[in-house]
Amino acid sequence: MVNVLGPRDEFLRILERELDADIHVRGNEVTLTGAPEAIAQGADVLTEMITVLRTGQGLAADTVERLVSMMGQSADTTPAEVLTQNILSNRGRTIRPKTLNQKRYVDAIDRHTVVFGIGPAGTGKTYLAMAKAVQALQRKDVNRIILTRPAVEAGESLGFLPGTLNEKIDPYLRPLYDALHDMVDPDSIPRLLTSGTIEVAPLAYMRGRTLNDAFIILDEAQNTSMEQMKMFLTRLGFGAKMVVTGDITQVDLPGGTRSGLRAVQGVLEGVEDIAFCQLTNHDVVRHKLVGRIVAAYDQFESVQAEQNGARRRSNR
């Protein structure tokens, strides 16, 4: 019962705050009082918590909050199924989806050859794609992993920067290396990079290649032009899988350049074996404040768009 209630009844306080039912605990017995719907929801939440604990996975405060928020979101998937789906384990740490949309994204990667993960910062788009790539490599589903992103801050004109190619592009690819260090033994990474089993390169270096038997991830895809997006997608070879991630609200392209990520869904929607997965501020798994920041910006931009539309109509 201590595992269900949490240290110093922390989980119990979360449940009392999030649920409409009153919760009373005496020994190993939990009593719920309130409206029938609230009692049923409370009972379901407790059942899901116990199911997670029975898998050997511990609970934390943020896990309990996510579990409550997922209740009733899907008739096909329970919160316990989301929170206990293991993707990858390394050095005693297991990587799992933490929200329903993240599970849908991970499942889409399993079922489709090309997947687009679109959503704000902190929703796990790139991190989960990297975990699936490492999993595919370990299972020998692919022979190599290719990680790429547009070095838009340098205009992809890297020749004028000092140092070797790796030294020039390293600052722009550092987030991919950071995720990689969480999933692969750090001592093996130099060997994997040297052998070409893992390749990290700017998008410009994908041109003219056919990528067979590879798991390819394009990160920060909102900073690709339409031409670059087409170039990247047509690198797909036999036995390969592609995941494209980005946030269409954070485009850093020069004015007048249309984002390839913004346009691609209109072009490829409905094409067989391609999936589009949308993540939202509810899927942010960084600090709680990040989700609130994303939501506040979304609301601000929505109000600004309405005001701009009203001004245009009044000026006619």
- What confidence tens digit (pLDDT) does each residue in 71-114 have? 878 778 899 999 999 999 887 788 999 999 999 999 999 999 99
Query: Which residues on adjacent β-strands are paired with residue 278?
Result: 118
Q: Domain check: are 114 and 242 in the same one?
A: yes
Same domain, 55 and 144: no
Q: Average pLDDT, stretch 120-135?
A: 93
Write down the pLDDT at residue 156: 47
Query: Is 53 found in the same domain as 202?
Result: no
DSSP string for residues in the chain: -HHHH-GGGHHHHHHHHH-SSEEEEETTEEEEES-HHHHHHHHHHHHHHHHHHHTT----HHHHHHHHHHTTS-SS--HHHHHT---EEETTEEE---SHHHHHHHHHHHH-SEEEEE--TTSSHHHHHHHHHHHHHHTTS-SEEEEEE--GGGTT-GGGSSS-HHHHHHHHHHHHHHHHHHHS-GGGHHHHHHHTSEEEEEGGGGTT--B-SEEEEE-SGGGSBHHHHHHHHTTB-TT-EEEEEE-TT---PPTTPPBHHHHHHHHHTT-TTEEEEE--GGG--S-HHHHHHHHHHHHHHHHHHHHHHHHHHHT-
Question: Is there a domain that residue 152 lies in?
Answer: yes
**Residue where a domain stops, chosen among 81, 115, 141:** 81
Do 181 and 73 share a domain, yes or no?
no
88 in any annotated domain = no
221-268: pLDDT as tens digits: 999 999 999 999 999 999 999 999 999 988 888 888 899 999 999 999
Q: For residue 169, what pLDDT is reported?
A: 67
Count of domains forming the chain: 3
User: Regarding predicted confidence, which is higher, 209 or 75?
Assistant: 209
What confidence score (pLDDT) does residue 163 get? 65
Angle in degrees, 0-180, between the axes of helices 125-138 and 165-183, rounded to the nearest 10: 80
- Tens digits of residue pLDDT in 270-297: 999 999 999 998 888 877 677 778 788 8
The predicted model gives 122-129 an average pLDDT of 93
Give the tokens for residue 289. Answer: 């404040």
Whether 143 is covered by a domain: the verdict is yes
Radius of gyration of the chain (CA): 22
Q: Is residue 296 part of a domain?
A: yes
The band of 123, judged by pLDDT with boundaries at 50, 70 and 90, is very high
Does residue 90 belong to any structural domain of this protein? no
- CATH code at position 23: 3.30.1370
Q: How far apart are CA 207 and CA 235, in angstroms?
A: 8
- The answer to whether residue 164 scores a pLDDT higher than 80 is no
How large a percentage of the chain has pLDDT more than 70? 92
Residue 87 within a domain: no
For residue 240, what are its two tokens?
């390969």
What predicted TM-score, i.e. pTM, was given to this entire model? 0.84
Give the whole-angstrom CA distance, residue 198 versus residue 189: 8
**Residue 315 and residue 246 share a domain:** no
Residues 183 and 56 occupy one common structural domain: no
Same domain, 132 and 253: yes
For residues 241 and 183, membership in a common domain is answered with yes
- pLDDT-derived band at 130, boundaries 50, 70, 90: very high
Instruction: State the DSSP string of 106-175.
Output: HHHHHH-SEEEEE--TTSSHHHHHHHHHHHHHHTTS-SEEEEEE--GGGTT-GGGSSS-HHHHHHHHHHH
Question: Do 119 and 32 share a structural domain?
Answer: no
Do 217 and 68 lie in one domain? The reply is: no
> Could you tell me if 146 and 228 lie in one domain?
yes
Last residue of a domain, one of 15, 49, 81: 81
Residue 118 falls within a domain, yes or no? yes
Q: Select from 48, 81, 114 the last residue of a domain.
A: 81
Co-location of 147 and 276 in the same domain: yes
Domain range for 192 is: 95-280
Assign residue 224 the CATH number of its domain. Answer: 3.40.50.300
Residue 89 lies in a domain: no
Q: Work out the percent of the chain whose per-residue pLDDT is above 90.
A: 47
